[in-house]
Structure 1
Amino acid sequence: MKIGIITWFTGPNYGTNLQAIALQYFLHQQGNDVSIINYDVAPPTVKNCGRNIIEKIKNQPHKYLTKYALYKYKAQILNRNKKMVSEIQKNCNFTDRIQSEEELIENCNKFDLLICGSDQIWNPNWYNKFYYADYPEILTPRISYAPSLGVNNIPKDKLREIIRGLKKFDAISVREEKGADILTPYLEEKPSVVLDPTFLLSEDDWASIFPLKNDHESNDYVLAFFLAENKQHFRATQDFAKRHNLKYIIVPYVGISYLQKGEKLAGTSSGDLLNLIRNAKYVITDSFHITVFSLIHKKQFYTFQRFKEDAYSSQNVRITNLLKLVHLENRMIPYEMTSIMDLEDINYIEKSSIMKREISKSMEFLLTSIKQVENKRIKN
């Protein structure tokens, strides 16, 4: 079947790039002809809704930290971005660059099926009808695979457009139970809850895409990766590494991370990051996808809450759902916690059976939905 994928795939975002690679790789494994629709609609930055003047002033230093990082680590960052572009180009097929809605509609109608997903393409804070293929002229059947809403509710001003887009799908799945609950009142049946596409590939699959490298002589290090500008989380991770007499390696991503004490690897590409995860003794993060790859590679990990629970743009639900699914809620560290409590090592023999069951359910949804669309096409 000729399948077009609508998802994010640009920019130096590790999770975004790896999920795009994963979904296409899996669909290729099943014998499909797959391309990512090359129509770049970059998600806007979430506005600082509800911030008072004091909070805005306190945020000013982050701007200067970022400028400092871009200056001091410019060469490494440019090299990272270049490598990440190369990784995407090597591992994904794309349509020709689409310049207009007319070209988009024409290209979408050349496919037998459109799959929208995954990542937070359905987050209402950056709603765009493209991520629902919501154009009257597009006649191609569509399903969704693991898009995330990333929020606790849909704003009223976006609800009408989102419902309109959803009504056009042959099958709908989302990445979190919360997302399914939010959408259920507006659909004939509750959406399926499936895993992020990065889970569709095994540890061996990822090794075939990004071969293992022994860049470090041993796994005597704690790997830190944070998306939030939170000093407490960095400090707690550094203390954890020191307490365990382990090296402290940071993959810097936000301004403040470039100023931390530790071995900073600013030139880390997606493949490099997977390699660092594979070789680490511990992984400590606030990232959903770094948590995912810690599970895939059976690592000992801790995940900080990235947001306050009542924050307007909180995305904690993504990680909370995942850890609850595999009965590892104790690996979630509360927001701004200043220390990391030692826990017993994760028993991956026990967790593997849970993960295999959930991966199997996710694969079944995807393959069954594709087959149903294919059968309809043959009948017609």
Structure 2
Amino acid sequence: MKIGIITWFTGSNYGTNLQAIALQYYLRKKGHDVSIVNYVVPQSVENCEESSFLKRMVSFSKDCIVNLIMRRYENAIHERDIKFRNAIRNNCILTDKIVEESDLINVLNKFDILIFGSDQIWNPNWYNRFYFADYDGISARRISYAPSIGVNSIPQKVSVDIERSVKKIDFLSVRENKAADLLSTFLKKKPEVVVDPTLLLSADDWTKIFPQRKIEDNDYVLAFFLGKEKDHFSAAKRFAKKHKCKYVLIPYKYISYFQNAIIYADAGLDEFINLVRGAKYILTDSFHMTVFSIMYEKQFYTFQRFIEDEHTSQNGRIINLLELTDLMCRYVPYGTSDIKDVDDIEYEKHLEKLNNKIKKSKIFLRNSINA
């Protein structure tokens, strides 16, 4: 089959790039002719009220901090971004770049099937019809594989658009239980919940993509936080000291660049995966870092990244994964500054349910394509 994938594949988010590589790699292994649709949705410019003096001062302070980071880590960050682009170029096939939305229909109809891939492409806070191929005149069959809504509710102002868009999908799956619940209000049948594309590949598959190599000697704690909660960084430092390990950090938000750690500011996808492989412990609030911690059977702790009652909370995907593997004991409450040790994970008894879910997800994808 000639398959076009519609997903995010740019920027310096590790999970975004890894899921894009994973889905195309898996489908190509199954013998399909696969390309990512090379169209990047323009960012909308919101009208906003003039900031108050206090807000402007806070913004100024952050700008100063960002400038400090950029001066110190400019070359490393530039090198990281090059690595991201090279990883996509080396592992994915993209269509010719599409500049105008008006050209999309002709490109999309060159495929037999369109698959809307993973990550939060269906987050209602930045809804765009492109991520549903919601255009008149589309002849290609439409399948969604593990897109995420990401939040706890769909705002009323976009609910009509999302209802119209999802009803055009021929075979519908999502990544989280919450997303299935939210979309089921628009549909006669509840969407299937499947695993993230990164889990469609085995550890051996990932080794073929990013060959194994040692980056750090001796025992180390690897930390990677998408959030900026100070207590989580304090907890990571204390944990490394308590366990007499080096403290290694892949930075993301500006606060992470100021930590007293071995900082890999230039870490691309290769370093990300290999630092996971070599770590003795992993501390994170990232869904995809948790995925790879489990895949490589690491001792890990995953921090709650959002306060649970927040409208924009994205905790659901991590909770689903930890519940599926019976590893909720590794979930650390938001704002924790000192981690309480629990017994080491004996992975054999935790992976059976996950492996069954992976098999069912592959069956969904196969049946949807072959229907």
- What is the TM-score of this pair, normalised by structure 2? 0.95
Relative distance call for 1:359 and 1:45 in structure 2 (3 A) is farther
Q: Which runs of 5+ in 1 are unaligned?
A: 373-380
Q: CA deviation at 1:61?
A: 4.2
Q: Which residue of 1 aligns with 2:149?
A: 149
Q: How does 1:78-157 map to 2 (within 5 A)?
A: 78-157=78-157
Corresponding residue SS for 1:186: coil
1:151-192 CA-partner distances (Å, limit 9, x unpaired): 111000000000111111111000001110111121110000
Q: Which residue of 2 aligns with 1:260?
A: 259
Distance in 2, matches of 1:244 and 1:278, equals 18
Residue type matched to 2:341 in 1? D
Post-superposition, which runs of at least 4 consecutive aligned residues in structure 1 deviate over 2 A?
A: 42-48, 51-67
Check whether the contact 1:63–1:255 (CA below 8 A) recurs between aligned residues: no
Corresponding residue SS for 2:110: coil
Distance in 1, matches of 2:198 and 2:57, equals 38
Q: CA deviation at 1:252?
A: 0.8
Q: Which residue of 2 aligns with 1:36?
A: 36
Q: CA deviation at 1:86?
A: 0.4
Distance in 2, matches of 1:69 and 1:214, equals 27
Q: CA deviation at 1:62?
A: 3.9
Q: Which residue of 2 aligns with 1:307?
A: 306
Check whether the contact 2:322–2:328 (CA below 8 A) recurs between aligned residues: yes
Relative distance call for 1:121 and 1:243 in structure 2 (3 A) is same
Residue type matched to 1:156 in 2? Q
Distance in 2, matches of 1:46 and 1:182, equals 26
Distance in 2, matches of 1:165 and 1:107, equals 19
Q: CA deviation at 1:65?
A: 2.4
Corresponding residue SS for 2:351: helix
Q: Which residue of 2 aligns with 1:179?
A: 179
Residue type matched to 2:85 in 1? V
Distance in 2, matches of 1:47 and 1:259, equals 33
Relative distance call for 1:71 and 1:300 in structure 2 (3 A) is same
Residue type matched to 2:259 in 1? Q
Residue type matched to 1:276 in 2? L
Corresponding residue SS for 2:5: strand
Q: CA deviation at 1:58?
A: 6.1
Check whether the contact 2:183–2:191 (CA below 8 A) recurs between aligned residues: yes
Q: Bigger shift: 238-247 or 55-64?
A: 55-64
Relative distance call for 1:341 and 1:9 in structure 2 (3 A) is same
Distance in 2, matches of 1:52 and 1:328, equals 45
Q: CA deviation at 1:55?
A: 8.6
Q: Which residue of 1 aligns with 2:18?
A: 18
Q: Which residue of 1 aligns with 2:333?
A: 334
Distance in 1, matches of 2:118 and 2:328, equals 23
Check whether the contact 1:66–1:256 (CA below 8 A) recurs between aligned residues: no
Check whether the contact 2:327–2:350 (CA below 8 A) recurs between aligned residues: no
Q: CA deviation at 1:307?
A: 1.1
Q: Which residue of 2 aligns with 1:235?
A: 234
1:84-116 CA-partner distances (Å, limit 9, x unpaired): 100100000000001112321101000000000
Relative distance call for 1:138 and 1:53 in structure 2 (3 A) is farther
1:291-319 CA-partner distances (Å, limit 9, x unpaired): 11111111111111111112232111111
Residue type matched to 1:227 in 2? L
Distance in 2, matches of 1:240 and 1:280, equals 14
Q: Which residue of 1 aligns with 2:168?
A: 168
Distance in 1, matches of 2:46 and 2:255, equals 19
Q: Bigger shift: 347-356 or 112-121?
A: 347-356
Check whether the contact 1:62–1:229 (CA below 8 A) recurs between aligned residues: no
Q: CA deviation at 1:356?
A: 1.1
Corresponding residue SS for 2:237: helix
Q: Which residue of 2 aligns with 1:159?
A: 159
Q: CA deviation at 1:229?
A: 1.3
Q: Which residue of 2 aligns with 1:272?
A: 271
Q: CA RMSD, aligned part only?
A: 2.1
Residue type matched to 2:323 in 1? K
Distance in 1, matches of 2:99 and 2:137, equals 17
Q: Which residue of 2 aligns with 1:370?
A: 369
Distance in 2, matches of 1:335 and 1:47, equals 32
Residue type matched to 1:303 in 2? T
Distance in 1, matches of 2:11 and 2:66, equals 17
Check whether the contact 1:123–1:151 (CA below 8 A) recurs between aligned residues: yes
Distance in 2, matches of 1:263 and 1:250, equals 6
> Percent identity at matched positions?
51
Residue type matched to 1:37 in 2? V
Q: How does 1:213-232 map to 2 (within 5 A)?
A: 213-218=213-218, 220-232=219-231
Check whether the contact 2:153–2:311 (CA below 8 A) recurs between aligned residues: no
Distance in 2, matches of 1:328 and 1:113, equals 36
- What is the TM-score of this pair, normalised by structure 1? 0.93
